[in-house]
């Protein structure tokens, strides 16, 4: 019987499929739990190290039957659209399913890494520090239902820990900032701006950036902490391998860079002439738009993670080369 299986929920998605690939590089077999209702993730499940594919609605049946074979769980599966508005679906897939994965890992004694999001920080007025206490975390106000769904899970986890309830032997909530890189084509409108800009430039079009509606921020200088998916996966694997103190950890670069810099990096690497044009921001998102995100990475660094993170110029260049090599 094959044991030491690594369960990756969302393993057919963007970050998850890159994680599965890297597990294969380390000789580990993965069980991918995902939503297989549509065929658009087919390209992401062709890794030779996939031991089994399980639809998310059958996840706990599989987990209960194979509990003795599971070594670790990476829970990355969720509705990932920041514009999602179906609260029933968000509750079912992002909140209740995630809480159930936590409870299962706690009951079965399985180490767990689960995906949170920088969207939980809301407008950033309370900072982007992952060392928040439960009381400080309770004061965060996410700007959209997606961020709220991730925030509810973080609260559930920290309340369990504070109450002394049974926990997984090691657990890590990872607050992803703006991740970009290979295997995100299936994400539709939620594709990274790096990919969207690349597609525009390759098609001979203009790169469009939102105008700013704040006097202290110039057009195109709205900034995010952009992190390459390869760097993201390195953090996930390090956490599970090194087992620092359990808790919530930011996964970003610690460096905010402007959308305009992403556009410049894409244009420079494609070596194509393309103009940047500023367009109106949709009124529906103007009041809840994040103008700045920057991960505080001091907590992860303090527990021993010392690998560098790619800046936008390097990471986007790497991504554009990968896209060109793959025929996109």
The catalytic site residues sit at: 146, 187
Q: How far is CA 56 from the centre of its chain?
A: 18
- Count of CA atoms in the C-beta half-sphere (13 A) of 271: 2
Q: Which two tokens stand for residue 167?
A: 């926990």
Report the C-alpha gap between 265 and 312 in whole angstroms. 7
Per-residue DSSP letter, 246? -
Report the C-alpha gap between 138 and 152 in whole angstroms. 9
Q: How far is CA 177 from the centre of its chain?
A: 7
Q: Which two tokens stand for residue 24?
A: 């294969």
Instruction: Tell me which residue has tokens 């999001």.
Output: 117
Closest listed residue to residue 15, CA positions, set 194, 198, 230? 230
- 30 and 51 in contact (C-beta within 8 Å)? yes
Closest listed residue to residue 232, CA positions, set 302, 169, 183, 171? 183
């Amino acid at each position: 019987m094959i044991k030491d299986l690594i369960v990756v929920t969302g393993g057919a998605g963007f970050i998850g499929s890159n994680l599965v690939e890297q597990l294969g590089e380390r000789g580990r077999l993965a069980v991918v739990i995902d939503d297989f209702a549509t065929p658009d993730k087919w390209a992401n499940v062709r890794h030779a190290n996939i031991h089994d594919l399980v639809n998310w609605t059958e996840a706990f049946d599989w987990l209960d039957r194979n509990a003795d074979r599971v070594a670790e769980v990476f829970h990355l599966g969720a509705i990932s659209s920041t514009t999602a508005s179906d609260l029933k679906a968000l509750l079912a897939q992002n909140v209740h399913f995630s809480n159930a994965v936590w409870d299962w890992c706690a009951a079965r004694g399985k180490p767990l890494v689960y995906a949170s999001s920088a969207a939980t920080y809301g407008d950033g007025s309370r900072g982007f520090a992952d060392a928040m206490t439960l009381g400080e975390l309770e004061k965060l106000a996410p700007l959209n239902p997606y961020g709220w769904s991730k925030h509810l899970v973080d609260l559930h986890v920290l309340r369990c820990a504070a109450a002394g309830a049974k926990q997984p032997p090691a657990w890590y909530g990872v607050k992803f900032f703006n991740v970009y890189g290979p295997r995100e084509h299936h994400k539709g409108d939620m594709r990274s701006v790096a990919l969207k800009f690349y597609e525009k430039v390759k098609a001979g079009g203009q790169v469009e950036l939102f105008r700013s509606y704040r006097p202290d921020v110039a057009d195109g200088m709205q900034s995010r902490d952009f992190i390459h998916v390869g760097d993201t996966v390195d953090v996930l694997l390090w956490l599970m391998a090194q087992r620092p103190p359990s808790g919530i950890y930011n996964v970003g670069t610690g460096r905010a860079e402007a959308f305009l810099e992403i556009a410049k990096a894409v244009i420079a690497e494609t070596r194509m002439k393309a103009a940047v044009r500023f367009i109106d921001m949709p009124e529906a998102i103007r009041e809840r738009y994040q103008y700045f995100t920057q991960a505080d990475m001091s907590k992860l660094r303090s527990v021993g993670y010392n690998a560098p993170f790619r800046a936008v110029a390097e990471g986007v260049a790497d991504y554009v080369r990968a896209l060109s090599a793959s025929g996109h």
